Structure 1
Amino acid sequence: MTPGSIPSDLLAVRRTLANGLRLAFIQLPAGSQAAALVRVHAGAHDAPGEYPGLAHFLEHLLFLGSRAYAATESLMPFVQGHAGQLNASTRERHTDFFFQVPADVFDEALKRLLDMLARPLLDEAAQLREREVLQAEFLARGRDRETLCDAAIGTALSAPHPFSAFHAGNRDTLVVESPAFQQALKGYHQRFYHGGQMELLVAAPCGIEHLLELLQCAECQLPVAHAVARQTAPLRADDGVALHLQVEGARPLLDLAFALDGLPDETCVALDVLASWLASQASGSLCRAMREAGWCEALMLRVPYWYDGQGVVVLELQLTEQGMANRGEIVAAVRSWLRYMTSQAPWPELWDEYVQIRQRGLLGKEPLALLRYWVDPAAWTPTIDAERVHRALRTLGTQLDGSKPIILTVDGEGGDRRGDITAPHTGFALNMLSERLPVATNQAWQWQLPERNPWLSRQMQPRVSPVALPALCWLEHGGDSRGQGALYLRWRFTTGRPPAGLWHVLYVALRAHTVAAAQAGVELRFDDLGGSWCLALFGYAEALPLVLQDLLDELKQPPVAAFDGGRRLFDEAKVPGADELLIRQLLRRLPVLESSAAEDNRILDRRAVERVWQGARWDALAVGLPARLSGPLQDVLAAMPGLAEPAAEQHTERFPRYLWSRFGDPGAENALVLFCPLPVRSASVEAAWRLLARLMESAFFRRLRSELQLGYAVFCGFRQLGERAGIVFAVQSPSASAAEILGHIETFLESFSASLEVPSDKVLEAISAGESPNGLSHDLRRRAEAVWQARLAGLDAEHPVAVAAAMSTGDVSAIKAQLHALRAADGGWHVVANAGAPDGRWQQR
């Protein structure tokens, strides 16, 4: 296999079964986790028009029990109980259901997935409860910037089309009590949830013969029916229009939306080619030109709708203040770039680098990520005809150039301005005005392909060298790493926390390289952990030292533009934004807020960077890199800013037992995140807490989301935040205050404690499942993350294996004792919420 090429075992074997089910199978090596994805070829646009949201509603209902598995034994609690991941998504013309679990429980998970799709209970009492969840989701989506942008774009279509209609569903449209609605719900399920309308993708370390035998069991049987022919309405935006939308908390944004129709199948891949170059931030790219003009921070291409050769394609630009004043020029520049890319750019060069990007990116994907890639019609495959894609790109360019785009400006300003456009059919209130953009000058843009990504082709000279740096922990990986590796660096600050905003400066400097790194198969993260900073690189092992070497200059001497961008980012981070779920923003703040150092607002410049590095101490971890990279990596690390110093045992800073941090103000939705750190970071205590979190996850979700109906964003789980680990509880609610949310969490903990007094067979079974130490040894990414988290906490590399071993022998008494410690806040309780503390026990920060 040549470096960067796709191993044959990552390509799917495809079959069509007797019941019409289309099957794609990827056989993974022993020790891998296993994943399945079912795509049902029906979505929001296929639901009856009189019941908007029915398709999305059914997606939710399918998780609430089936003929063979009651709700408490269904897919969601099963996967959560085995530390897996699962989700579902209803799109315009398809619905996906997917999970990833340890391979030894894959068969049971797949049985639950297929049984719930084929034979759901659809209990009306459960429907009434779940409708309230969708109502909460609808309210949240009514404040979501991307949702409102798509609704605004839909108002400008020239002819009626499902894209412009309301499909989210809410309390008013989901008439559960109506017999006609029940008939429509069951009719939709019967029409589309059968073998002829589904495809199943599996990635697992078993043979396809085993899978085919499994699909013969009763739980996996699907109804047999022919595929359903579905029609499409014409999609046009003949006149184009300029609109201005106000979204509370949104940062300035410009969307150029194109309604396209009648395009060939290969257009999906052509759009992916275009998106790859739109995202590029290299010299000569559109993004670099827009940044150098001072107009824009970032660009992306998104496709909110695509089906059968028609779709809505949106080019999205994050604007600066100067960009807001030059929107006419920006539109002209983007359209000029699109003409170049689709009709003038050198195709062989364009295609060659695109293929390299796709090959490299596939190498490190987890099983579920592989399936989500291969199910996408935009997925490149080695057998695709490059010339057909080229023709599709030129056809796409002709339509883009001949279309009048819908131009949408979004910002969060304007006070109580009332728009002159209403769109009741979208289901969302749009505060929107029509406007006229400034006329663009006749500026001539000279476009070219961006510089080629050097990380796709360059290699460092291999050299085996004994690991001589005491600050570097070098770990081999015994399993099949598939050419992947992990590299982590941490800087600790001996003179106190760096100036506020300096991390944001370096983040902006590194952010300019994240796309190029991702294209080279390397995930790049740079995290502020409060008392330290962490740079993490994971992916194609051969590229890791190379990427790190090229980032050194950015770390030591950030470009001037990074200081301006960092200041803006720091200011924006002080208040909640509209572009991300509030509880996610709260979670991200926890590690930083746990640092008790006061924020220092010294001037941010290169001298400040130099001062910080002078007082920094770094240590590093490398996992899975081949021995031939030991020399090049140590050469790069020798030039690292700061002084090399092995990590010492952590002396955890003492925090108040009850600490409350406020971020934002109460609004239409309230959110609260409670972090309960471990009282002691021993293997036995951590094992008990991990088992406790696994036991509570589905029960917490069921109680607060389904039964109490607090909202749709509800979860709990074991997490490491910065250098401390513990259990996180998070809730975002349109109805409950922060104080009420906290009260519900405390009540849940009390009732869960009572349930452990006489543990059920299911609890005992979940505990006995434990955690296999072998799972860590085979899975490079899981092992690397676990070891790094241990080192952040001042523990050795063997700590994760000791925790896994302790989990495999866990017992109820240990879990009960640690639940008591959690409830007593022995390790402390830290809340982040968009409201003040409810009582005097909390110390507020």
Structure 2
Amino acid sequence: MTPDSVASDLLPVRRVLPNGLRLGYIQLPVGSQAAALVRVHAGAHDTPSEYPGLAHFLEHLLFLGSQAYAATDSLMPFVQGRGGQLNASTRERHTDFFFQVATETFGEGLRRLLDMLARPLLDEAAQLREREVLQAEFLARGRDRETLCDAAIGTALSAAHPFAAFHAGNRDTLPVEAAAFQQALKGYHQRFYHTGQMELLVAAPCSIEQLLELLQCSECQLPVAPAVARPLAPLRADDGAVLHLEVDGARPCLNLAFALDGLPDQACVALDVLGAWLASQASGSLSAVLRETCWCDALALRVPYWHDGQGVVVIEAQLTEQGMADRAEVVAAVRSWLQFMTLQAPWAELWDEYVQIRQRGLLGKEPLALLRYWIDPAAWAPSIATDRVRQALQALGTQITEAKPIVLTVDGVGGNQCASIASTQTGFALRLAPERWPVAGDRAWQWRLAARNRWLSAHARPRVAPVAVPALCWLEHDDDSRGQGALYLRWQFATDRPPAGLWHALHAALQVHIVAAVQAGVELRFDDLGSSWSLMLFGYAEALPLVLQDLLDVLKAPPIEAFDNGQRLLGEATAPGANELLIRQLLRRLPMLVEPAAVEDHAVPDQPALERVWQGAPWDALAVGLPAHLSGPLQDVLAAMPGRSELPVERQTGHPLRYQWSRFGNPGVETALVLFCPLPVRSAAVEAAWRQLARLMEGSFFRRLRSELQLGYAVFCGFRQLGERSGIIFAVQSPSASAAEILGHMEVFLESFAASLETPSADLLQVLCAGESANGLSRDLRRRAEAVWQARLAGCDAEHPAAVAAAIATVDVVDVRLQLRSLRAAEGGWHVVANADAPDGRWQQR
């Protein structure tokens, strides 16, 4: 498939059904998964002002059962039990609900989705429990840098606008016990959850006639009503502002925010154009210039609010020490660049590369990602009026140029230098103060468009060649790969790990190329797996050898400044920060921690150290789905790869520690704990039983620890592979429980779940049977490639995933019960990482 054929294959067919529901449909090839997304055109800004958070609260409640499906058989446990994915999101003026599953179970999922939206139970006892979940989420958001930045920006608006109000919701704003609140909750649902305010998008390998027939069933019937007109308050920041915000653990950053209003319809697309060019880190880009001046490590465009031609647009710069001192110069440079890009840049070149980027990006998207792209008003489509986008970009530029921005500096200096503001307006305690802004120097910036991304247009010279590299496993993909391919490389380290800062140095050097690869339709990932490094390229197959070729010089000899960055980034990685949820930080560290303790080289990362690492590092590779004419170009690149080509050998790991505890960070307002239980034996039969066990436990664990015990809103379990080891993860972040209490709840859950397996319920047996297809060998290229690569990382051959899929069909309750006993006995070891010390002497703390 060529990128320019995306219009006919991946563009949704849209129609309005007789009941007023807007429908978009994409027919996918046989073998694809299926996805659905419902957008309700109402959100946080549409709730009664006396009940902040009501829209978000209702989003949570809808998952707790409906008239046709009890809570234990509702959409969430149904999708979780079948290996799918689902979520929901409440924004300012819309709320989205979405899921993706195997095609054979899609109809049952769609029935559950539409029934829960139309006929929720809204049980008051369940509301009381779920309110505690929102309270925990509110407490976490009160320490999140991005949330606090948006709240601080809201304080600088000139007129009352919902953006400046509190919408998160908490225990105080959701008086479940009050009759007036219940009336408001049901009134909001009745006002907005109907066909006039809803939009349904589906991507599935079936005909639209089959979909329309499914929508006729009773569970899929939605209330019918006309669209609701909603007023729009003016959005202004007439005088701008210069503010300083302190957030514990935050790294220095600068937010340059603009309040925009009265823009034409295509302004959201124009903003997407601007964002695509802002993301570029190529020569001549804004990122490259600010990096060369040692002011900034990274740039991003955020749009925390956008609706009907008005919005808040934020340029966020991660500052260096020098950039912190020269913030006025940074602001002047960014504003100068914005003026150039919106009012002076050559439109034809700007638009042409943007269209190429969007075409490439669409080719590799999964069904759900496709729907989330097309539901956005900023989505590019082949039919879009180019001239109108250009005019909208100029209107955007005029407002940005003439406006007084809100300039917000954020850091984690501490010491309460800023006064704390606990206002009803923001709902969060802000350590915020006005700041005196220095005058910027009179520097004349000479901007130009960033260098073109050659991966969008260049092609590897095709050549079919026999696979002659022993360390390369080449797998053809039988099904329609839609032009996609996957390529994996691994460098193994036997006894001595490389200097810790080296991986960070290479990762920093690759950042420039990660953005360019994404824009060319290729996902680039470079992972530290503890005893090995892994490079992954997935996406537009024709570009993969080209991208890998251009990465060779970076891998062999990164820029000298990358080594300094590596040391700094290593320090940041080993200390928790406010930029990311704590539990995600723990999960990211786990792969290094579960590997056997090897001797770690503490040498300063530099070019000689990197060369020593490459000299002793054997590599192996996997290519999946690439057409035969790329076999020659790919092997040419691999021949120049650093390290030496060598078939992987099974690593002798020795007997694992049974109970291992790693501490990351210090006890704080919240406690996060992740327990990883690796497989005791890596055989197809054991892995199959553990995968089924994880699927059986996922919904029950979530329900027990999140809904019933109300430990927090970040609660999950599931089967995962961390580096070279697979197993089951249990994770909780809680504002109320200690690490010892969280671990205790996990162990009690495992005990009670083991008891439930002695006399399994019909629901549990149904999930076990459904898992046979959900866990089967996927025909999706990405899932198949990932399964084979994980098998190779674990020392298994390429046939291992097929063997697991076959074994899953034979797993019964007796097998699951036996493996749960093995898990509880820690036969494969238990590895905990938490922001607290081990609670007792059975743990060996690292």
Shorter chain as denominator, the TM-score bin is: over 0.9
Q: Is the 8 A contact 1:583 1:732 kept in 2?
A: yes
Q: Please state how far the C-alpha of 1:95 moved relative to its aligned partner.
A: 0.1
Show the counterpart of 1:600.
Answer: 601
Matched, 1:513 2:516: no
SS of 1:488's partner is: strand
Show the counterpart of 2:407.
Answer: 407
Q: Distance in 2 between matches of 1:246 and 1:69?
A: 46
Q: Please state how far the C-alpha of 1:777 moved relative to its aligned partner.
A: 4.9
Matched, 1:6 2:13: no
Q: Is the 8 A contact 1:420 1:434 kept in 2?
A: no
Q: Please state how far the C-alpha of 1:3 moved relative to its aligned partner.
A: 4.7
Show the counterpart of 1:673.
Answer: 674
SS of 2:500's partner is: coil
Q: Distance in 1 between matches of 2:288 and 2:701?
A: 46
Paired amino acid for 2:62: L
Counterparts in 2 of 1:4 and 1:544: CA distance versus 1, 3 Å: farther
Show the counterpart of 2:264.
Answer: 264
Q: Please state how far the C-alpha of 1:773 moved relative to its aligned partner.
A: 9.1
Q: Please state how far the C-alpha of 1:407 moved relative to its aligned partner.
A: 0.2
Structure 1 residue runs of 4 or more that deviate by more than 6 Å after TM superposition:
none
SS of 1:355's partner is: helix
Show the counterpart of 1:39.
Answer: 39
SS of 2:36's partner is: strand
Show the counterpart of 1:786.
Answer: 787
Matched, 1:355 2:355: yes
Q: CA RMSD in A?
A: 1.1
SS of 2:629's partner is: helix
Q: Distance in 2 between matches of 1:418 and 1:452?
A: 44
Paired amino acid for 2:128: L
Show the counterpart of 1:818.
Answer: 819
Show the counterpart of 2:383.
Answer: 383
Matched, 1:205 2:199: no
Matched, 1:192 2:184: no
Q: Distance in 1 between matches of 2:350 and 2:420?
A: 44
Show the counterpart of 1:710.
Answer: 711
Q: Deviations for 1:568-627, whole angstroms, at most 9, x for unmatched residues?
A: 110101111111111111011011122312443212110011010011000000000000
Q: Distance in 1 between matches of 2:812 and 2:653?
A: 28
Show the counterpart of 1:15.
Answer: 15
Show the counterpart of 1:619.
Answer: 620
Q: Please state how far the C-alpha of 1:204 moved relative to its aligned partner.
A: 0.3
Q: Distance in 2 between matches of 1:771 and 1:327?
A: 57
Paired amino acid for 2:335: R
Q: Is the 8 A contact 2:3 2:363 kept in 1?
A: no
Q: Deviations for 1:184-220, whole angstroms, at most 9, x for unmatched residues?
A: 0000000000011000000000000011011110000
Paired amino acid for 2:619: W
Q: Distance in 2 between matches of 1:601 and 1:785?
A: 32
Q: Please state how far the C-alpha of 1:771 moved relative to its aligned partner.
A: 3.2
Q: Distance in 2 between matches of 1:770 and 1:404?
A: 57
Q: Please state how far the C-alpha of 1:654 moved relative to its aligned partner.
A: 3.1
Show the counterpart of 1:238.
Answer: 238
Show the counterpart of 2:487.
Answer: 487
Q: Distance in 2 between matches of 1:377 and 1:3?
A: 21
Q: Deviations for 1:379-422, whole angstroms, at most 9, x for unmatched residues?
A: 00000011100000000000000000000000011323242755
Paired amino acid for 2:753: F
Paired amino acid for 1:165: A
SS of 2:368's partner is: helix
Show the counterpart of 1:142.
Answer: 142
SS of 2:77's partner is: helix
Unpaired stretches in structure 2, ≥5 consecutive residues: none
Show the counterpart of 1:729.
Answer: 730
Paired amino acid for 1:792: L
**Which structure 2 residues correspond to residues 444-459 of structure 1 after superposition, within 5 A?**
444-459=444-459
Q: Distance in 2 between matches of 1:459 and 1:727?
A: 42
SS of 2:758's partner is: coil
Q: Distance in 2 between matches of 1:712 and 1:585?
A: 16
SS of 2:39's partner is: strand
Q: Is the 8 A contact 1:4 1:363 kept in 2?
A: no
Q: Please state how far the C-alpha of 1:2 moved relative to its aligned partner.
A: 4.2
Unpaired stretches in structure 1, ≥5 consecutive residues: none
Q: Deviations for 1:213-239, whole angstroms, at most 9, x for unmatched residues?
A: 111100000000000001110000000
Q: Percent of counterpart pairs with the same letter?
A: 77
Paired amino acid for 2:509: A
Q: Distance in 2 between matches of 1:534 and 1:771?
A: 30
Show the counterpart of 1:827.
Answer: 828
Q: Deviations for 1:489-530, whole angstroms, at most 9, x for unmatched residues?
A: 000123510011110000001111111000000000000000
Q: Please state how far the C-alpha of 1:636 moved relative to its aligned partner.
A: 0.1
SS of 1:659's partner is: strand
Q: TM-score, normalised by structure 2?
A: 0.99
Q: Please state how far the C-alpha of 1:5 moved relative to its aligned partner.
A: 3.7
Counterparts in 2 of 1:408 and 1:773: CA distance versus 1, 3 Å: closer
Q: Distance in 2 between matches of 1:654 and 1:18?
A: 65
SS of 1:395's partner is: helix
Counterparts in 2 of 1:774 and 1:8: CA distance versus 1, 3 Å: farther
Q: Is the 8 A contact 1:668 1:734 kept in 2?
A: yes
Paired amino acid for 1:572: E
Q: Distance in 1 between matches of 2:653 and 2:36?
A: 41
Q: Is the 8 A contact 2:496 2:600 kept in 1?
A: no
- How many residues align structurally? 845
Q: Distance in 2 between matches of 1:422 and 1:763?
A: 47
Q: Deviations for 1:307-348, whole angstroms, at most 9, x for unmatched residues?
A: 110000000000001100000000000000001001110000
Q: Distance in 2 between matches of 1:717 and 1:556?
A: 37
SS of 1:501's partner is: helix
Q: Is the 8 A contact 2:496 2:599 kept in 1?
A: no
Q: Is the 8 A contact 1:254 1:409 kept in 2?
A: yes
Q: Distance in 2 between matches of 1:455 and 1:775?
A: 35
Q: Is the 8 A contact 2:131 2:174 kept in 1?
A: yes
Q: Please state how far the C-alpha of 1:78 moved relative to its aligned partner.
A: 0.1
Q: Is the 8 A contact 1:295 1:321 kept in 2?
A: yes
Q: Distance in 1 between matches of 2:457 and 2:790?
A: 32
Show the counterpart of 1:682.
Answer: 683
Paired amino acid for 2:427: G
Matched, 1:110 2:107: no
Q: Distance in 2 between matches of 1:717 and 1:371?
A: 25
Q: TM-score, normalised by structure 1?
A: 0.99
Matched, 1:799 2:800: yes
SS of 1:426's partner is: coil
Matched, 1:127 2:127: yes
Q: Is the 8 A contact 1:242 1:407 kept in 2?
A: yes
Q: Is the 8 A contact 1:14 1:22 kept in 2?
A: yes
Q: Please state how far the C-alpha of 1:774 moved relative to its aligned partner.
A: 10
Q: Distance in 1 between matches of 2:629 and 2:328?
A: 53
Q: Distance in 1 between matches of 2:257 and 2:806?
A: 54
Show the counterpart of 1:501.
Answer: 501
Show the counterpart of 2:96.
Answer: 96
Q: Distance in 2 between matches of 1:212 and 1:778?
A: 26
SS of 2:831's partner is: strand
Q: Distance in 2 between matches of 1:372 and 1:531?
A: 37
Q: Distance in 1 between matches of 2:230 and 2:439?
A: 43
Matched, 1:572 2:572: yes
Q: Is the 8 A contact 2:494 2:531 kept in 1?
A: no
Q: Please identify, of 222-231 and 557-566, the stretch whose mean Cα deviation from structure 2 is larger.
A: 557-566
Paired amino acid for 1:641: P
Q: Distance in 2 between matches of 1:279 and 1:456?
A: 15
Show the counterpart of 1:183.
Answer: 183
Q: Deviations for 1:96-121, whole angstroms, at most 9, x for unmatched residues?
A: 00000000000000000000000000
Q: Distance in 2 between matches of 1:392 and 1:22?
A: 26
**Which structure 2 residues correspond to residues 272-283 of structure 1 after superposition, within 5 A?**
272-283=272-283
Counterparts in 2 of 1:666 and 1:2: CA distance versus 1, 3 Å: closer
Q: Please state how far the C-alpha of 1:649 moved relative to its aligned partner.
A: 2.5
Q: Is the 8 A contact 2:6 2:363 kept in 1?
A: yes
**Which structure 2 residues correspond to residues 216-615 of structure 1 after superposition, within 5 A?**
216-419=216-419, 423-595=423-595, 596-615=597-616
Q: Please state how far the C-alpha of 1:766 moved relative to its aligned partner.
A: 1.6
SS of 1:750's partner is: helix
